[in-house]
Amino acid sequence: MMALLLKSYQSLLRGSAVPRRSMAAARETAGSSKKSLDLFYDVVSPYSWFGFEVVCRYRQIWNIDLHFRPVFLAGIMKATGNQPPATLPKKAEYLNMDILRVAKYYQVPVQLVSDFFGTVIQKGSLPAMRFITAVDASQPQYVEPISRELWMRIWSRDEDIVKPESILAAAEKAGLPLEDARKILEMSNSPEIKNRLKETTDQALKYGAFGLPSFVFHVNGKPQLIFGSDRLELLGSLLGEKWHGPVPTASKL
């Protein structure tokens, strides 16, 4: 099943799911003004990956001006007193099933990590999120593909995302020249980048975030927060748009 899911996912990334003509038609019905949407995420979170991929698929259909906002999930959890749901035995048991069901539904090639506590809780994602933040500051066009490659490493292939060589491997696979990646990796340890990641995390907290993914849009100048990858249909409705399922195809538009 994983091989079929991966093949379907790769097909979606090549843009075969929604032809250009269909997306153009969707934009005409939705109006010409773009709607700004901030996506706060951390690659340590598989549910962030689900939300990330779906809003990327809907970016043109819903005429969204999508802003990727890398944050540090552990910082949000600590600041809000939240606890990882998988630290509770019954929730962990449920999540092991839920993650795979949601992965199939959204057609994102997620597999369970072999050592959740060691990978997600102990290692975490701080070096990876600092690197993405540095990419956002210097070459933002690579934020999307590098984020995706880091998710592929941790949540599809059960590979490391915090060692320098792991981060460089993800960046190279995403198309960032190795020399540039090394410079950005060095930059990611600077006070400026550390502060930038903290500031973005603090901004998510000010909006009311307590977990990820968190989506923020504005209505009449006021920020509106939507939490979770299971609220995407509601997000579309609040944006005045139609939901066409997790994989919007031409037949649904």
Q: Which of 22, 45, 156, 214 is labelled catalytic? A: 45
Q: How far apart are alpha carbons 17 and 201 in whole angstroms?
A: 33
Burial 175-193 (b: 16+ CB within 10 A, else e): ebeeeebeebbebbeeeeb
Dist CA 66 CA 1 (whole Å): 31
d(CA 43, CA 48): 7
- Which element (helix H / strand E) includes 69? strand 64-70
Active site residue 45: yes
- What backbone torsions phi and psi does residue 224 show, to the nearest 5 degrees? -120, 130
User: Biggest alpha carbon distance in the chain?
Assistant: 50
Calculate the alpha carbon distances from 71 to 113, 132, 189, 234 in Å: 21, 9, 15, 23
Q: How many CA atoms lie within 13 A of 46 on its CB side?
A: 30
- Cα separation, 223 vs 237, in Å, equals 16
Q: Which residue has the tokens 């997000």?
A: 235
- Helix 178-187 and helix 126-138: axis angle, to 10°? 110
Residues 6+ apart with CB under 8 A from 20: none
- Where in the sequence numbering do the catalytic residues fall? 45
